[in-house]
C-alpha cells in the first residue's frame, strides 16, 4: 500500500507541475495572443474574464460529475483538454477560434483544478500528514518553467504554435501515462446542501460553514492577481525602475512561492496549520505594506519577495482545511471552494486598477493588505479535527488508501 501511495503522490505532483506550466504559457503570452488574433484593447478584458468565469462553471460541474465518476477520471481526461486547448490558442487566426480555444481551456481548467485538489486532499488523508503544500510547490515549479519557456519563445520571436507544440507533445503523453497511478480516496461526494442543516462530519456541505474558507481563498487570490497583473507596472510607473527590471518582481514572487511551499509541509507538521496560515497572512500583509511605502525599486522588490513567501501557504492549506471540515463530503467542498479561486482572480486586478486610477497605486496596495489580514480572523477554521493530522500529531500511514485509477 505504501508503494501505491508513493506512485499516486508522484503522479499527482507531476499533474500539478504540468498544469502550472500550461497556465504560465498561456497568461505570459497574452500580448502575443492579442496580436495574433487582432483582439482590440476593448475586447481583450472580455476574453480574459471569460476564462476564469468558465473555469468556475467547470468546477461547479465537477462537483456534480464526481458523484458519478472518480475524480481521477475527471483529472485524467481534463488535463489533455487543457493542453490541446493551449495548442489551439496558438494555432488559429480567426476570432472565433480564439474564443473556442480559450473557452475550452477555461472549462477544462476548472475541472482540472478541482479534481487535482480533490485527489491531493484524499492523499493527504491517507498519508496522515501534511503533503498538500508539496503538490502546490510542483505547480509553482511548473509555472516557473512555463514562464521561462514563454520568455524563450518571445525572445526568439517564435510563433505561439511553434512555442507550444513541443511542450504539448512532451507533456500530454507523459501526463496521460502518469494518470494510471492516480489514487482515489473516499471523497465522500455526498449531496451538497446549502443552508443550516447537516454537520461538518456528515455527508453534505453546509455552505455557511464553508464560507470562511471561501473568503480566505478569495482574499488570497486577490493578492496573487495583484502581483501577477500589477507588479511590473507598479515597479516601473510608481517606483521608477527600468522596463527590464520591472519584469523581475513576478519571477521573484514565483520563486518564493516555490521555496515557501517546498518547506511549508514541514512547518505544518511542526507547528500546525493554524500557525502556518497566520504566519503566511502576516508576512503577506507586511509584503504589501513594504510595496506601498517603498522609496525605490529594490525595496519594492523586497515587498514582492515577502508576498510570495506569505501568500503561497494559504491556498493549499485552505483546500486541506475544507477536506478536514467535511471529511465525508470533501470532493463537493473542494469543488465549491475552488470557485472562489476564480472569484479572487476576477476581482483582484480590476479592483487594484480602479483604486489606482481613482486614488493612487500606493494606496491601492493597502486594500489587498487589509483583505489578507482578515485571514487572521478565520484562522481557527484551519484547525484539525479528530483525525489530528497536519498539526504535529501525525497518524500512522496504515489507512485506507482508496483505489488506484489504473483499473478504470
Q: How many CB atoms lie within 10 A of CB 303?
A: 24
What is the Cα–Cα distance from 18 to 47, expressed in whole angstroms? Answer: 23
Hey, what CATH topology would domain 186-385 get?
Answer: Growth Hormone; Chain: A; (1.20.1250)
What is residue 188's predicted lDDT score, i.e. its pLDDT? 53
Level-2 CATH architecture, domain 1-183: Up-down Bundle (1.20)
pLDDT 10s digits, 112-158: 999 999 999 999 999 999 999 999 999 999 999 998 898 888 889 89
pLDDT 10s digits, 173-207: 999 999 999 999 765 544 333 333 334 444 577 78
What is the Cα–Cα distance from 187 to 129, expressed in whole angstroms? Answer: 17
The cell numbers describing 188, all together, are 465522500
In whole angstroms, how far apart are CA 220 and each of 2, 141, 265?
A: 34, 19, 18
Q: How many CB atoms lie within 10 A of CB 91?
A: 16
Domain ranges of the chain: 1-183, 186-385
Q: Is 275 exposed, middle or buried (0-12, 13-18, 19+ CB in 10 A)?
A: middle
What is the Cα–Cα distance from 400 to 160, expressed in whole angstroms? Answer: 45
| C-alpha closest to that of 137 among 281, 9, 7, 2 | 9
What is the Cα–Cα distance from 18 to 159, expressed in whole angstroms? Answer: 21
What is the Cα–Cα distance from 31 to 95, expressed in whole angstroms? Answer: 15
Query: What string of DSSP letters covers 303-353?
Result: HHHHHHHHHTTHHHHHHHHHHHHSTTSHHHHHHHHHHHHHHHHHHHHHHHH
What is the Cα–Cα distance from 84 to 18, expressed in whole angstroms? Answer: 13
Residue position matching grid coordinates 518547506: 263
What is the Cα–Cα distance from 86 to 70, expressed in whole angstroms? Answer: 25
| C-alpha closest to that of 213 among 324, 116, 59 | 324
What is residue 251's predicted lDDT score, i.e. its pLDDT? 83
What is residue 118's predicted lDDT score, i.e. its pLDDT? 96
Q: Which residues of the chain have pLDDT under 50?
A: 189-202, 386-403, 405-408
What is residue 142's predicted lDDT score, i.e. its pLDDT? 94
The span from the first CA to the last CA of the chain, in angstroms, equals: 18
Structural contact between residues 210 and 201, judged by C-beta atoms closer than 8 angstroms: no
Cβ neighbours of residue 233 closer than 8 Å, sequence gap 6 or more: 246, 361
Amino acid at each position: 500500500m505504501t508503494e501505491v501511495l508513493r506512485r499516486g503522490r508522484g503522479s499527482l505532483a507531476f499533474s500539478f507541475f504540468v498544469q502550472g506550466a500550461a497556465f504560465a504559457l498561456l497568461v505570459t503570452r497574452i500580448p502575443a495572443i492579442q496580436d495574433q488574433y487582432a483582439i482590440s484593447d476593448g475586447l481583450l478584458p472580455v476574453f480574459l474574464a471569460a476564462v476564469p468565469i468558465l473555469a468556475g462553471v467547470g468546477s461547479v460541474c465537477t462537483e456534480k460529475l464526481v458523484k458519478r465518476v472518480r475524480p481521477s477520471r475527471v483529472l485524467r481526461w481534463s488535463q489533455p483538454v487543457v493542453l490541446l486547448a493551449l495548442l489551439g490558442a496558438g494555432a488559429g487566426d480567426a476570432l472565433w477560434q480564439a474564443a473556442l480555444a480559450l473557452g475550452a481551456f477555461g472549462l477544462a481548467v476548472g475541472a482540472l483544478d478541482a479534481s487535482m485538489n480533490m485527489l491531493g486532499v484524499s492523499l493527504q488523508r491517507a498519508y496522515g500528514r501534511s503533503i498538500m503544500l508539496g503538490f502546490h510547490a510542483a505547480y509553482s515549479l511548473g509555472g516557473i518553467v512555463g514562464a521561462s519557456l514563454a520568455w524563450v519563445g518571445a525572445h526568439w520571436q517564435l510563433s505561439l504554435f511553434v512555442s507550444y507544440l513541443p511542450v504539448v507533445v512532451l507533456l500530454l503523453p507523459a501526463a496521460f501515462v502518469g494518470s494510471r497511478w492516480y489514487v482515489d480516496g473516499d471523497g465522500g461526494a455526498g449531496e451538497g446542501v446549502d443552508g443550516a442543516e447537516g454537520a461538518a462530519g456528515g455527508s453534505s456541505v453546509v455552505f455557511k460553514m464553508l464560507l470562511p474558507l471561501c473568503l480566505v481563498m478569495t482574499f488570497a487570490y486577490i493578492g496573487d492577481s495583484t502581483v501577477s497583473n500589477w507588479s511590473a507596472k507598479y515597479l516601473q510607473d510608481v517606483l521608477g525602475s527600468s522596463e527590464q527590471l520591472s519584469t523581475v518582481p513576478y519571477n521573484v514572487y514565483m520563486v518564493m512561492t516555490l521555496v515557501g511551499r517546498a518547506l511549508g509541509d514541514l512547518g505544518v507538521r511542526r507547528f500546525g496549520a493554524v500557525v502556518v496560515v497566520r504566519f503566511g497572512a502576516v508576512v503577506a500583509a507586511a509584503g504589501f505594506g513594504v510595496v506601498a511605502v517603498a522609496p525605490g525599486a529594490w525595496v519594492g522588490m523586497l515587498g514582492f519577495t515577502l508576498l510570495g513567501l506569505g501568500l503561497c501557504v494559504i491556498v493549499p492549506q485552505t483546500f486541506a482545511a475544507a477536506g478536514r471540515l467535511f471529511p465525508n463530503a470533501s470532493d463537493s467542498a473542494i469543488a465549491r471552494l475552488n470557485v472562489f479561486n476564480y472569484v479572487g482572480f476576477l476581482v483582484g486586478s480590476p479592483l487594484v486598477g480602479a483604486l489606482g486610477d481613482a486614488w493612487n497605486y500606493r494606496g491601492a496596495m493597502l486594500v489587498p493588505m487589509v483583505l489578507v489580514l482578515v485571514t487572521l480572523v478565520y484562522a481557527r477554521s484551519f484547525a484539525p479535527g479528530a483525525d489530528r493530522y497536519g498539526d504535529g500529531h501525525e497518524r500512522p500511514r496504515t489507512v485506507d488508501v482508496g483505489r488506484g485509477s489504473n483499473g478504470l
